[in-house]
Amino acid sequence: MKGILCELRLILRSRLSVASLLLLFMLAALAVLSGLREVASQHETLARVAPLNKQDLASVETRYPQDANGGYPAYYSFHNTWDPPSNAAFLALGMRDVAPYMLRIRALGLQAQLYEGETFNAELALPGRFDFAFVLIYLAPLFVIALLHDLVSGERQSGRLRLLLAMSDGKRLWRRRVALRYGLLLICLGLPALVGALIAGMAAGALAMTLAVIASSLAFWFGLSLLVTARGWRSSATATVLMSAWVVLTLVVPTLANVMLNRSIPVHQGVDLMLAQRQAVHGAWEIPRQETMQRFYANHPQWQDSAALPPTFHWKWYFAFHQVGDESVADQVRAYRAGLLQRQVWSDRLGWALPGVGAQAILHRLADTDLQAQLAYQDRIGVFHQQLRDFYYPYLFNEQPFGRQDYASQPQFTPREPSAYAFQPSAWGGLALAWLLFMLGGWQLAQLRPNQQ
Amino acid sequence: MSVITRIAREEWRALFRDRVAVVGLALLTLLMLVAALNAWEHQRNANAERARYQAQANHEFEMQPDRHPHRVAHYGHFLFRPLNPLAAFDPGIDPYTGNTLFIEAHRQNSANFGDVRQSSLLLRFGQLSPAFVLQVLAPLLLIFVGHAALARERESGTLRILLAQGITGRQLVLGKLLALSGFALLMLLPALLMLAGLVASGQAAWQPSLLLAAGYVLWLLLWSLMVVLLSGLLARSRDALLALLAVWTIGVILLPRLVPDMVSSALPLPSRFENAIHVQREYLALGNAHDPNDPTFAAFRESILKEYGVTRIEDLPVNFKGLVGFEGERLSTELFERYATATFERQAEQNRLVDHSAWLSPTLAIRRLSMTAVGTDLTSFRHFLEQGETYRYELVQRLNRLQSEKLRYADDSNPNRENRISHEHWQTFPRFDYQPQPLADTYRQTAPASLVLLVWAGLLMALTSLMGARLGTTRQ
């Protein structure tokens, strides 16, 4: 204990170390704060928008208080769907800035509505968000390097190295120094995250995993730094090598990997999907209407006893061809999603080799702000859209009048629960390797002998 | 002058004996080549794909059967944004914006299918491009190889000897600067060759390429100055290295993220959802253009009747439904314009705020200059959206005119009658032909960023010169 206090005093006497620690703490706190603020503003937006949409639905009711078969209400009612941020979203804001987290849906073709974008300033989104994930993945390693690059060489430059290595409890001394620095950095990162988690009401399990991610990323960079610093090179050489490693692992390889991923798993079906859906929907105006109805009834026999189409326009035909349009691209939709998920799987695998990518994947999964979260929201919209169809179709196909009380019983969207984090061994494999590296680094440091120096 | 070149030559020789410098330069060059090749090919593929899609969309539009003009207006059209060949140098916001615009009557849709929503979060680590290599990695290599330029001489005591030999501090500093800038030029060489190739093959105009080249030369000069300055100011090379790394981290990594994030929370954008609701409300208040008996269109009906000198719309020589559609489209487009412009203006305001912060971090300035010069910035994207909107308006109004001229009101208002006009009409519609921004606009938009880079370089030059003068007078 006395030894630790003594080391602590040594660290506190170094201006560089104190400044580094304070700065990291402040940056982490700022990131947590701005994350919390962003989440709060998303909640606010959702709260502001809900009544607006309600008024909108009410105005449809005033315009069409009594409808012969629900066609007008079904056509004009836009229903509110939303995806509230999870309790952990403040840590990693992920895709929520570029993908909509609220969408208005009506009972017409789903595929023409699902890919609607959000208004965002692409120039602001381009550099990425300043959130806790950024501090952990990009900045924290630099602070590890700043604190460890002269662990050995600094002692040599001041002429104390031989003495230290000759001491009987030399190994304990190194262990103490490393452990202390590790502990201080862990506090600088973990404390703001912990406080943020308490404010946001994050679940204990998710919090524990967040702390595990923080501890493991630090372990990786400590391991690497110790391995390099134990070579006994000059301080600036050590710093250069470590910095280069950081650049390669966090800046260069992920971008290279992204290029390769996008090349090996091309996804252009998005556009094809939309072109095909439009062709199918608008083609309905050209073919005999009965043909469309037959195609619709083939998949939905429960409505086939509905009365024959009148010579004039009928809403049930309109809704039927929209649904037929959706169904005609079902295979393409599946292929599109499979391509997207495939990309996700491969970038998760990359997390084994790249600690930054691994930490990013786990944090965003915990926060439920990644590609999977976006797809899950789309699934939820799909389910709700089906409820809308199920609700309106009896009116349309059975010629049931649609009145005030029917407006009140329209389906309501229920947001999805943020999917509970499922422990993925594949994602954590990389972090387990980080601890192995940490041990290896510690072992290397313990191998330092006075006669080698 | 010869003293300076001799110093530079010595330093240059020392640089190439340094393993870090040689390996670093080789790796950087390799990375630059990979980035350039990949970006070039990606850009070419993307353009080929977009051209193919555009051709397909044009074909589908023109091959429509006989239809009611209003049906065609809702069938709509797809527009694809072509990329500037220079985008291979700096893809900018291209992966973040959709490039597919669906246009139809009385609706303004968003551009869809940007890469960002179709990729894993890996994209958020950045994109490998020559611009990324030059903006982020090149300054770091300059720091690694140059941080000891002066500090090393001081540490080993050679500084005193050099000064005693009658070399002035300024000459020494200039020599070191010359060597480091030469090294920087070597890093820049592959990029310059790539630009030259694009210009020579006629794919890119020379003016923006030159602007781009000048911008990056200035950018690396700025970093060479920064490195030499701190190397001369700090006593030990290790301190110089750490200080430079801190400057780099704050200026290149931290601020370019922190500033946009703060700006977007200070000036939030209205969500698409809210805008859609507000637009729809005002749209309903305009009256229903599909219904010629709509009360809000009564005044319009009166004016038309008066203009043609008839008392009943049935007596008009043209189809009144088409006229109402025309008027409705005019009104609704005005409404959309208003909201779209407000959003664009808000975004421009956000970007201005970020641009002002370039005085703190010139990285923001070089980024602005680079994206704007190659046309992958938001302004140029807005330019595409606005052209798309003009095209949409003209397309829809042409169809409304066809409806008013080619269909009779009595037929058109008979629900039991199928009204179609010949498919030959669709083939006479002009195709969408995207016109990139005029160069003068590019110069105007990059001027503030260029000024920031120039002022920073001037300031650093003055400080370095001051440092050089002090180096000669202080007794070591």
Cα gap A210→A219, rounded to integer Å: 14
By residue range, what is the domain housing residue A106?
Answer: 1-264+351-453
Three-state SS letters, A235-300: HHHHHHHHHHHHHHHHHHHHHHHHHHHHHHCCCCHHHHHHHHHHHHHHHCCCCCHHHHHHHHHHHC
- Flag whether residue A14 sits within 8 Å of chain B, measured between CB atoms: no
Structural domain count of chain A:
1
By residue range, what is the domain housing residue B215?
Answer: 2-473
Contact across the interface for B93 and A102, Cβ inside 8 Å: no
* Confidence check: pLDDT of B123 > 70: yes
What is the phi/psi pair of residue B102, to 5°?
Answer: -95, 125
* Confidence check: pLDDT of A453 > 50: no
Chain A residue whose CA is closest to B368? A123
Please state, rounded to an integer, the average pLDDT across all residues of chain B.
89
A128 sits in the region (left: phi over 0; alpha: psi -120 to 50; else beta) called left
Cα gap B39→B33, rounded to integer Å: 10
- Flag whether residue A261 sits within 8 Å of chain B, measured between CB atoms: yes
Mean pLDDT of B123-137: 88
Shortest CA gap A442–chain B (Å)? 24
Judging contacts by C-beta atoms under 8 Å, the chain A residues touching residue B21 are none
pLDDT of residue B290: 62
- CB proximity under 8 Å: A 393-452 to B: none
Judging contacts by C-beta atoms under 8 Å, the chain B residues touching residue A49 are 271, 273-274, 277
Judging contacts by C-beta atoms under 8 Å, the chain A residues touching residue B96 are 98, 122, 125-126
Domain membership of residue A336 (yes or no) is no
ipTM of the complex: 0.88
| Residues B89 and B130 sit within 8 Å (Cβ to Cβ) | yes
pLDDT confidence band for B191 (50 / 70 / 90): very high
* Confidence check: pLDDT of A429 > 90: no
In a mutational test of the A interface, the residue from B53, B120, B274 whose CB has the highest number of chain A CBs within 10 Å is B120
Q: In what order do the strands lie in the sheet with B107-112?
A: B77-80, B100-104, B107-112
Which stretch of DSSP H or E encloses residue A218? helix A204-229
Judging contacts by C-beta atoms under 8 Å, the chain B residues touching residue A104 are 273, 276-277
* Confidence check: pLDDT of B476 > 50: no
- Flag whether residue B25 sits within 8 Å of chain A, measured between CB atoms: no
pLDDT of residue B324: 87
Chain A residue whose CA is closest to B80? A271
The 10s digit of each residue's pLDDT in A361-380 is 899 999 999 888 999 999 99
Residue from A152, A242, A123, A170 nearest A3 by CA = A170
pLDDT of residue A17: 82
Judging contacts by C-beta atoms under 8 Å, the chain A residues touching residue B416 are 311-312
The 10s digit of each residue's pLDDT in A57-115 is 999 999 899 988 899 999 999 999 999 999 999 999 988 888 899 999 999 999 888 88
Domain membership of residue A292 (yes or no) is no
Domain membership of residue A150 (yes or no) is yes
* Confidence check: pLDDT of B248 > 60: yes
pLDDT of residue A123: 93
The 10s digit of each residue's pLDDT in A24-64 is 999 999 999 999 999 999 999 999 999 999 999 999 999 89
- Flag whether residue A363 sits within 8 Å of chain B, measured between CB atoms: no
* A136, A141, A142, A147: CA torsion to nearest 10: 120
Domain membership of residue A273 (yes or no) is no
Cα gap A218→A212, rounded to integer Å: 10
Instruction: Assign A202 to helix, strand or coil.
Output: coil
Shortest CA gap B340–chain A (Å)? 10
* Confidence check: pLDDT of B305 > 80: yes
Mean pLDDT of B203-214: 92
The 10s digit of each residue's pLDDT in B71-98 is 899 888 999 988 888 888 999 998 888 7
In a mutational test of the B interface, the residue from A41, A123, A242 whose CB has the highest number of chain B CBs within 10 Å is A123
Instruction: Assign A116 to helix, strand or coil.
Output: coil
Which residue in the set B118, B126, B377 is minimally distant from A123, CB to CB? B377
* Confidence check: pLDDT of B419 > 70: yes
Q: What percent of chain B has pLDDT over 70?
A: 97
pLDDT of residue A288: 87
- CB proximity under 8 Å: B 29-68 to A: 31, 34, 38, 42, 49, 53, 56-57, 60, 65, 67
Contact across the interface for B254 and A278, Cβ inside 8 Å: no
Cα gap B362→B355, rounded to integer Å: 9
* B81, B87, B88, B94: CA torsion to nearest 10: -60
User: Residue A87 has what DSSP assignment?
Assistant: T
Which residue in the set B249, B257, B264 is minimally distant from A134, CB to CB? B257
pLDDT of residue A381: 96
Please state, rounded to an integer, the average pLDDT across all residues of chain A.
88
The 10s digit of each residue's pLDDT in A190-221 is 999 999 999 999 988 889 999 999 999 999 99
Structure tokens at A125: 């989104």
- CB proximity under 8 Å: A 267-326 to B: 267-268, 270-271, 274-275, 278-279, 282, 285-286, 311-313
Domain membership of residue A212 (yes or no) is yes
Mean pLDDT of B145-149: 89
- Flag whether residue A347 sits within 8 Å of chain B, measured between CB atoms: yes
User: Residue A352 has what DSSP assignment?
Assistant: T
The 10s digit of each residue's pLDDT in B364-392 is 999 999 999 999 999 999 999 999 999 99
Judging contacts by C-beta atoms under 8 Å, the chain B residues touching residue A45 are 271, 274
Three-state SS letters, chain B: CHHHHHHHHHHHHHHHHCHHHHHHHHHHHHHHHHHHHHHHHHHHHHHHHHHHHHHHHHHHHHCCCCECHHHHHHHCEEEECCCCHHHHCCCCCCCCCCCEEEEECCEEEEEECCHHHHCCHHHHHCCCCHHHHHHHHHHHHHHHHHCCCCHHHHHHCHHHHHHHCCCCHHHHHHHHHHHHHHHHHHHHHHHHHHHHHHHHCCCCCHHHHHHHHHHHHHHHHHHHHHHHHHHHHCCCHHHHHHHHHHHHHHHHHHHHHHHHHHHHHHCCCCCHHHHHHHHHHHHHHCCCCCCCCCHHHHHHHHHHHHHHCCCCHHHCCCCHHHHHHHHHHHHHHHHHHHHHHHHHHHHHHHHHHHHHHHHCCHHHHHHHHHHHHHCCCHHHHHHHHHHHHHHHHHHHHHHHHHHHHHCCHHHHCCCCCCCCECCHHHHCCCCCCCCCCCHHHHHHHHHHHHHHHHHHHHHHHHHHHHHHHHHHHCCC
Judging contacts by C-beta atoms under 8 Å, the chain B residues touching residue A38 are 265
* Confidence check: pLDDT of A319 > 90: yes
The 10s digit of each residue's pLDDT in B330-376 is 999 999 999 999 999 999 999 999 999 999 999 999 999 999 999 99
Cα gap B372→B378, rounded to integer Å: 8
B107-112 and A102-105 beta bridge pairing:
unpaired
Which residue in the set B123, B128, B265 is minimally distant from A37, CB to CB? B265
Q: Which of A166-180, B2-16, B226-240 is predicted with the least confidence, judged by mean pLDDT?
A: A166-180
Shortest CA gap B60–chain A (Å)? 8
Which residue in the set A52, A235, A255 is minimally distant from B128, CB to CB? A255
Domain membership of residue A312 (yes or no) is no
The 10s digit of each residue's pLDDT in A270-305 is 778 788 888 888 888 888 888 889 999 999 999 988
The pTM score is 0.89
Structural domain count of chain B:
1
In a mutational test of the B interface, the residue from A24, A124, A250, A347 whose CB has the highest number of chain B CBs within 10 Å is A124
The residue type at A205: G
* Confidence check: pLDDT of A14 > 80: no
Chain A residue whose CA is closest to B274? A49
